[in-house]
Structure 1
């Protein structure tokens, strides 16, 4: 997941190099070995993993990769014969290919100079004036209303890792852990830091076994997606340049992605970052066991529920989600960025899993400046990239590009000439938050767009509501957030309506 972020903000001139990105969909990648060894998800009949699960896998000729004991799920490597043997095991419900979900990518980059007076050159949180999304949902009103009770709530961010030493994140990270395979310690001393200087070389280790195979050293890169998400959830007041929805809440940062390399069928070497089912399941269960109140997953891909190869993964996701629910953890996930109707057999994972709160992304047609701050000045619209459908539970700002009055389309849509003629300030319609510079590893800020950016708004408001109502179960919390939305848009696109921190905390 390579992304060029906003350069260091200069308080006086605020001349910034901007990464305005449209978070693309993350399909399940084909990182399966070219040889006979494959990666599988095994779902056992019992809701907990049998004591002899490892022995069963070994007897079938496979190797256990991740054991999700509380959900009765395991990920393994093995051959087709391994799969066939396990499918005959009376204690096994399903076996199917493990999925690898690509980290979100950037579709475009633009440099711009932001010097329009919409900031104070000396005040803390000097970029807050650009955060129209926070004013649109009444975030500051909600946070002030809840007050110090926020500190009792923790939001799990399952992503590429979070920069705990970012000025907006200092003191916000209650827990940081990597559940990925290539564990490495960051400058903060944890394995949840967003640095990637090791990778899984599937050419060298087609049946990669973390218990015996070493990850391959590589040039260090830093992934900024998780820090952007965490900043939206709980960027602290007076620490850096932006403010999150619930600045008093704490973050449990989970690094669930791995860097990998393999040669595809055409002979091309693929070097990327992606999340396997196993480490994601591991993080969900760990967070639930630690009492994390809300989990945000701005990640995912697609699978076909009618395909036998995908069925095991679908069942495993249901198992893990059910476990988290029983432990009192609400899972919130981005709906995906394919601009597709999700009504059908093709499911977006994890947002389409029953019980998970699915978030579509919105933008506004126009913005204006009021008292030195950007505010919405037009209708809310479904963002041009956002998925939609019956599984959509709620909508939240994810960023768009404003609307071309000549044709009524987003400036980021693709009719001839639309993008070329968009105004210089179109990127103000995106979502501004904290990031880590991909090459230097230094703190930065950037405008992104995607359902990845919408979901953490909901997670932040969920934290505020949970602070007010600690007795709420995950289902009650989800229903309350839906019941207290601003009733705009259609159900298939906005779900129950537009997220409102103001209405939800009254």
Structure 2
């Protein structure tokens, strides 16, 4: 362990972003000028003829996301509903890294990556590093300027879905997406920083959040549909809203969510989604729903973490596969568990080592609010947001080694080879993800 002072940075996140939510609440507001509209065999030109602007053509999934006046919507054929703008009020617990230590690999911070050690990632790389696989990161932005991410980010395919004009393949929406992207594909061959699960895979930045945290249900659906369109093997959604009253979501949006997610799965795109950080029992919360992880075809991922890694006694108080204190759970919502990090701030030093260390990029803006670049760095963060990309990375390894497998076949393999986690099935679903075990079955 290095000798360093504790820097506990409590950051407030934007809409829907994961991390450790402290006293979180979710609010939803209906947009007054943007709507989700059933396609009903109509073309873009048909909809535009009614005086509407098509923001995203989702007609392959049965919908359009449109802008316009509701009076124009009322003249159209088919059902519609206002887009739902969601905001998340809460905290992300994060500790910035300031370390330089020897490593078991050539990456100097690998010694702090208990998450990769628990999954035996160097052994998995003896089979594949994820070459040929494509992973879409639907988040706040994956920064191609980060020295541990530039090798992986496909800037040509990356898209900004927010309409804020700040571009894509950057950190304009905040540091969160770069941390998620690094967990999947941080460079293992540059002798800098950290290692990702599938560093040979391509990352596509699908940015759905602005720097202020703005996002909406409709643009997340658009990003999922786009991921399928570009033949992404995996789309990772380290985002979600809970508790959303079932009646507030409504049957229209429930149908739309399931339609888009089912379409993506049918096109070969596996959807890895964080289950949320409210310590909530999703099995028995009858009046509420967690979205999108309770949608059709979701691979819901709960978080695990140690207590005492690198700073405790001879043995860990809790092993790597122990449920994190904040993770949502429930046999209907959890498909797999994976390292997301735990923490015990009651200890004066060292507790942050139990969180997940990986890449971040801090966005920088000029006085006019224009994106000017980023400050790349590394940070410990904990949340189911960190767990979902562990499974996305494992799926990328499988697809690299067996590109003929469908999304359902990849999911089945990961579930079948998962190991028994500490605690009940409500926390682990089919078990704790095991990339090496999955590759050995191919």
TM-score normalised according to structure 1 size: 0.74
Judging changes above 3 Å, is the alpha-carbon distance between structure 1 residues 375 and 505 closer, same or farther for their aligned structure 2 residues?
Answer: farther
From 170, 173, 183, give the equivalent of 2:150. Answer: 170
Instruction: State the structure with more CA Rg.
Output: 1
Judging changes above 3 Å, is the alpha-carbon distance between structure 1 residues 307 and 104 closer, same or farther for their aligned structure 2 residues?
Answer: closer
From 387, 397, 402, give the equivalent of 2:328. Answer: 387
SS of residue matched to 1:98? strand
- Partners of 2:214 and 2:25 in 1: how far apart? 10
- Partners of 1:493 and 1:447 in 2: how far apart? 23
Q: How does 1:279-428 map to 2 (within 5 A)?
A: 279-302=219-242, 304=244, 306-307=246-247, 310-343=250-283, 344-368=286-310, 378-379=318-319, 380-389=321-330, 390-401=332-343, 411=344, 419=345, 421-428=346-353
CA deviation map 1:448-482 (0-9, x unaligned): 00000000000000001111221211111111101
Judging changes above 3 Å, is the alpha-carbon distance between structure 1 residues 462 and 353 closer, same or farther for their aligned structure 2 residues?
Answer: same
Equivalent position of 2:369 in the other structure: none
Q: How does 1:57-136 map to 2 (within 5 A)?
A: 58=51, 63-77=53-67, 89=77, 92=78, 94-102=79-87, 106-108=91-93, 119-120=101-102, 124-136=106-118
- Partners of 2:145 and 2:72 in 1: how far apart? 45
- Confirm or deny: 8 A CA contact 1:28 1:99 kept in the other structure: no
CA deviation map 1:183-220 (0-9, x unaligned): 224xxxxx331225xxxxxxxxxxxxxxxxxxxxxxxx
Judging changes above 3 Å, is the alpha-carbon distance between structure 1 residues 111 and 320 closer, same or farther for their aligned structure 2 residues?
Answer: closer
In structure 2, the gaps of 5 or more residues are 12-18, 365-372
- Partners of 1:235 and 1:498 in 2: how far apart? 22
1:242 Cα offset (Å):
0.3
1:39 Cα offset (Å):
3.5
1:303 Cα offset (Å):
6.8
CA deviation map 1:158-179 (0-9, x unaligned): 1111110211112111242212
SS of residue matched to 1:388? coil
- Partners of 2:265 and 2:206 in 1: how far apart? 18
Equivalent position of 1:192 in the other structure: 169
Judging changes above 3 Å, is the alpha-carbon distance between structure 1 residues 39 and 241 closer, same or farther for their aligned structure 2 residues?
Answer: same
1:311 Cα offset (Å):
2.5
From 399, 402, 409, give the equivalent of 1:466. Answer: 399
CA deviation map 1:256-310 (0-9, x unaligned): 1135xxxxxxxxxxxx312222322222222212111111110121475742653
SS of residue matched to 2:303? strand
Query: Pairwise CA RMSD of aligned residues?
Result: 3.1
SS of residue matched to 1:99? strand
- Partners of 2:133 and 2:97 in 1: how far apart? 37
- Confirm or deny: 8 A CA contact 1:97 1:312 kept in the other structure: no
1:247 Cα offset (Å):
1.5
Judging changes above 3 Å, is the alpha-carbon distance between structure 1 residues 309 and 104 closer, same or farther for their aligned structure 2 residues?
Answer: closer
Judging changes above 3 Å, is the alpha-carbon distance between structure 1 residues 104 and 375 closer, same or farther for their aligned structure 2 residues?
Answer: farther
TM-score normalised according to structure 2 size: 0.84
Equivalent position of 1:160 in the other structure: 140
1:78 Cα offset (Å):
5.3
1:487 Cα offset (Å):
1.4
Equivalent position of 1:503 in the other structure: 437
Equivalent position of 2:408 in the other structure: 475
- Confirm or deny: 8 A CA contact 1:394 1:496 kept in the other structure: yes
Q: How many residues align?
A: 414
- Confirm or deny: 8 A CA contact 2:274 2:302 kept in the other structure: yes
Equivalent position of 1:213 in the other structure: none
- Confirm or deny: 8 A CA contact 2:356 2:380 kept in the other structure: yes
- Confirm or deny: 8 A CA contact 2:97 2:379 kept in the other structure: no
- Greater Cα shift, 311-320 or 232-241: 311-320
From 23, 46, 50, give the equivalent of 1:52. Answer: 46
Judging changes above 3 Å, is the alpha-carbon distance between structure 1 residues 430 and 252 closer, same or farther for their aligned structure 2 residues?
Answer: same
1:238 Cα offset (Å):
3.1
- Confirm or deny: 8 A CA contact 1:351 1:358 kept in the other structure: yes
- Confirm or deny: 8 A CA contact 1:27 1:101 kept in the other structure: no
